[in-house]
Structure 1
Amino acid sequence: MPFTDKDTSARIARARAARIAVPAVCHAEFPSALQRADPLSLLAQQDSGRVPQLLPLRYTRLAASPLSYFHGTALSAAADLAATPRTGFAVQACGDAQLANFGLFAAQGRKLVFDFADFDETLRAPWEWDVKRLAASFEVTAREIGHPAGQRRRTVLAAVESYRLAMHEFARRTPLEIFFAPPDPRTLRTVAAHRLGPARRRASFRHTEIRDGRLKLAARAPWAVAAGRLGGDGDPATLADRLCTVLRPYRRTLGAARRAMLDRYRLADAARAAPGPTSSGARCWVALLVRTDTGDPLLLQLKEARPSVLQEYTGTSALDSPGRRVVAGQRLIQAAGDVFLGWARSPGFDGPARDFHVRGLRDDRGSGDVAAMTPDVLRANARLCGWTVAKAHARTGDALAIAAYLGSGPGFAEAVREFATACADQNERDHAALRRAIRAGRVAAAGS
């Protein structure tokens, strides 16, 4: 049923009231030291339930650089964002909308798609949290690369202004038009040229190899490590059976056509995956399935699902299973769906019952070399990420109200840029505190 003029007026009036209650300038605020929770305590809080033998690796990765630390501290970010003003408009948020969590994919028909690549924290939450996290990620990334302050400012503003302009455009479109809206082709080409360029192709590798006459997963650290090579794997002899306890309930979450397709494959090999700082220490496996008649491969990622870092701060009632929450959120905000996306709860995989979300492992994700990004390339990524976040929010929230709140001026973008700068400053201090804790022996890291 379409909105009436009365509905539209009410939504715009609500947005204008929000602008009075929470002016754009308020979004520059970053929590003071007295308002913030201790970031090292928050990191320790997340250690609970992870594989103990992998925790030193987690802290080694977090300590590598301020950017690595930023990648792995979604909980600290959520705690900081929860202390900032809220406009009152909720969307299905990514929950960790940072540059590292976007990728290029070949969708159905080999069409190139730029989209979210990580949904571990997705939950219904204030739209501005994703925008602020995204803006901060570009400030931190630009500092890591060594871009001067003026270039960093332009990049952060590009991300937020792209979001604002896209939201105004989506506010004028129907839900179907939003769903099928394509990104700006010139910006997409600029991003793709870097992410899928010659250097990227030379560095890529196949996930499988022939060993002893059989197709096996290629054990190439840190991407994948053979079972039994790391502590906490359990008995390698029982790994196939334990993974099957995940795959069986996962199969039931697929539609009939996808179940029929999956049933043509059998489990042939598995390896522990080594995800980035955010998920280090969580259980994550790559399963190689082969077609029973031809031996063609199918790669699935089975990743432990945990409660969203946003859950404590939003008051949102999550679904009964963290795995189901991730899958439902991904289906809401991802433009090109994953055919093999599903979830499972396994009562006997590794001690207590654990939740997993499962997806096809795509070889064609383009992440690019961040260190090689020029200011122009990073700005193109900022515009594309801002547009992508706006599209997801427009699909799951009130695009008209958000657009009306944002207005036609640069006030919101300038305020969020200030927030991003303060956040990057604090990120550097928190990273330094972690390194001091490792040197003092209060935090155990690999090789410390």
Structure 2
Amino acid sequence: MSTIQTLAERQAAAREARQRAPRSLNSAIGNVDRDPVQLLRENSAGRVEALVPLRYGRMSVSPFTFFRGSAILQAHDLSGTSNTGIAFPVCGDAHLMNFGGFATPERQLVFDLNDFDEVAYGPWEWDVKRLTASLAIAGEHMGIDRASVEDIVSTAVHEYRDRMHRYAECSTLELWHEIVSFERMLEAAATAEGRQLINRAMEKAATRTHESMLGKMAALHDGRWLIQDAPPALFHPSGPNSLLGKDKKWSDTDEWKGKLASAFDSYLQTLSSERRQLLAQFELQDIAFKVVGVGSVGTFCLVMLFVDSHGKPLFLQVKEARQSVISRYFEGDGPTHQGERVVTGQRLLQAASDSFLGWTIGPAGRQFYFRQLRDMKISAEVERMSNTILQGYARICGWALARAHAKASGKAVEIATYLGSGNRFAEALTQYAFAYAEQNQKDYDTFMRACRSGKLEARSDEDMAADFRV
């Protein structure tokens, strides 16, 4: 059995971390002597070739969408900075759009991190820096003045600091059961506008169910529900609208169907016995390929539609898990199966996780994880926010990230002691956020020149959809 350190020993270790990585050094953006186009190409290797231009097309919309799709660049850059040495499984991609609301298995609506494709063992500071940089980039993109953006970034960091100090006083079980519910968010909201927005979000979440999605995504044919193609975002792997190209054999044969059945059986073995019993009450109706997000475009992602004996649906998403960009630049322990890495990290960082999380190895040796496609899931419409609302949203993100880190690490005391009670860390992170926003703009400009010159091919959803219109 391991020996538990005293609080004094843990605080002393954190003060040593200040010597290794002074808080003022957190303003450094790191090693930016690299070719962003080359790194993005490396990150696109192994994806569906026909979808890589769509990935770049979605990234080209704005400096903010570029930032969302280029986590590899920031991970590379951060590897050239000092860190506290306090590391544990971090989100790896904690930008402001990777937080959101969803229902717990007990049907409580909570706010939390909701994307874990890049989860890996790494420094906690990297998550905070990704969040603050995203706030600065989004704020500038929205035309918010610099002073207001400074307040927004500072608010997120101060909330992270203040919550971490509170969590440092919590017992292990108190932290494990801590949850950021929408009811608590309502209580903490600073303005009537904020409370109104939270109430609207709760109402919207109640409508985002498997049943509401069924009529939008599928149609009944001869007693069987079939997912409707909507290329390039949704198509049947073996159908006439497939974009899998040379990977067509991966999805077009009876042998593949057999391999998929085997992969699903392997997934079931990663679930608890009662979850397996639950899934046994559903029958598979259809499977389609779904293009999701920005950074994930081009990776393999399937949607499986099931119904129970009452005709009620369940949508499962089967998403490819590739090496985390964090683990590429920071060495640490973790599962060798990339799907298991995602699931384990999500369960550790989230307050309450999807009942159907599991993993498997699919055809062609690709590694996948499973989750529900939609279960009262909602995300923020950041570009429609006022300055006041964005500041409130930044505060909630800082709270949720602190909770996730405190739970996952068991090191709230160390992090809180390192942060201290003053403004030094917040000031450094605000400088970092603006400096990285400037670097992101430079990278975006380089990326756009590559797209315009034909070095990279970028296509929009609308442009690719036109290819399928008769």
Deviation at 1:216, TM superposition (A): 2.8
In the alignment, is residue 359 of structure 1 matched against residue 371 of structure 2?
A: yes
**Residue type of the partner of 2:102?**
F
**CA contact under 8 A between 1:171 and 1:399: conserved in structure 2?**
yes
Contact kept? 2:206, 2:376, Cα under 8 Å: no
Change (3 A) 1:15 1:256: same
Aligned 8 A contact 1:393 1:399 in 2: yes
- Aligned partners of 1:200 and 1:368 also within 8 Å: no
User: Which residue in the other structure is 2:80 paired with?
Assistant: 83
Q: 1:336 aligns with which of 338, 349, 352?
A: 352
Match for residue 272 of structure 1 among 280, 284, 289? 289
State the SS of the aligned residue for 1:418.
helix
The CA distance in 1 between the partners of 2:230 and 2:276, in whole Å, is 30
Q: How many residues matched? A: 439
Aligned ranges 1:366-381 → 2 under 5 Å = 366-381=378-393
Asked whether the 8 Å contact 1:194–1:377 carries over to 2, the reply is no
**Deviations, residues 188-219 of structure 1 (Å, cap 9, x unaligned):** 774634645679979x9624443324323344
1:386-414 Cα shifts (integer Å, max 9, x gaps): 11111111112211111001000011011
Identify the residue that residue 192 of structure 1 maps to in structure 2.
198
Counterpart among 416, 428, 436 of residue 415 in structure 1: 428
- Paired residue for 1:31? 30
Q: Relative to structure 1, is the Cα distance of residues 198 and 175 closer, same or farther in structure 2, using a 3 angstrom cutoff?
A: closer
The 8 Å contact of residues 270 and 287 in structure 1, kept in 2 or not, is answered as yes
- TM-score normalized with structure 1 length: 0.91
For 2:436 and 2:273, locate their aligned partners in 1 and report how far apart those are by CA, in whole Å: 47
Alignment of 1:17-416 (within 5 A): 17-31=16-30, 33=32, 36-183=33-180, 184-186=184-186, 187=188, 190=195, 192-193=198-199, 195-196=201-202, 206-207=213-214, 208-213=217-222, 214-220=224-230, 224-227=234-237, 228=239, 229-232=241-244, 234=248, 235-236=251-252, 238=254, 240-291=257-308, 293-346=309-362, 349=363, 352-397=364-409, 398-416=411-429
Secondary structure, counterpart of 2:140 in structure 1: helix
Q: CA RMSD in A?
A: 2.5
Partner of 1:16: 15
d(CA) in 2 for partners of 1:241 and 1:289?
A: 18
Q: Which amino acid aligns with 1:113?
A: V
CA contact (8 A) 2:205 2:378 kept: no
The structure-2 alpha-carbon separation of the partners of 1:109 and 1:200, relative to structure 1 and needing over 3 Å to count, comes to closer
Q: Matches of 2:204 and 2:400 in 1, distance apart?
A: 25
Task: Answer whether contact 1:196 1:368 (CA < 8 A) is retained.
Answer: no
* Unpaired runs of at least 5, structure 1: none
The DSSP-based 3-state class of the residue aligned with 1:108 is coil
Equivalent position of 2:467 in the other structure: none
When residues 270 and 437 of structure 1 are mapped into structure 2, their CA distance, relative to the original with a 3 A threshold, is same
User: Once structures 1 and 2 are overlaid, which stretch shifts more, 83-92 or 223-232?
Assistant: 223-232
% identical equivalent positions: 38
Give the secondary-structure state (helix, strand or coil) at the position aligned to 1:206. Answer: helix
CA pair 197-259 structure 1, distance change in 2 beyond 3 A = closer
- 296 and 147 in structure 1: CA distance in 2 versus 1, 3 angstrom threshold: same
Q: Residues 60 and 448 of structure 2 are in contact (CA less than 8 Å); yes or no, is this contact kept in structure 1?
A: yes
Q: Secondary structure at the match of 1:104?
A: strand
Q: Alpha-carbon deviations, 1:6-32, whole Å to 9, x = none?
A: 722111111112223322110011125
Q: Structure 2 counterpart of 1:79, which letter?
A: H
The CA distance in 1 between the partners of 2:34 and 2:227, in whole Å, is 42
Question: 3-state DSSP class of the match of 2:46?
Answer: coil
Deviation at 1:168, TM superposition (A): 0.3
Aligned equivalents of 2:2 and 2:294: distance in 1? 44
- SS of structure 1 residue aligned to 2:6: helix
- SS of aligned partner of 1:13: helix
The whole-number CA distance in structure 2 between the counterparts of 1:337 and 1:22 is: 33
The letter of the residue matching 1:185 is M
TM-aligned CA deviation for residue 220 of structure 1: 4.4
Q: Distance in 1 between matches of 2:131 and 2:292?
A: 20
Is the CA contact 1:194–1:368 (under 8 Å) kept in the aligned structure 2? Answer: no
Give the conservation status (yes or no) of the 8 Å contact 1:289–1:298: yes
2:343, 2:357 within 8 Å by CA — same for their partners in 1?
yes
Q: Which ranges of structure 2 fall in alignment gaps of 5 or more residues?
A: 465-470
Aligned with 1:159: secondary structure?
helix
Partners of 1:382 and 1:3 in 2: how far apart?
38
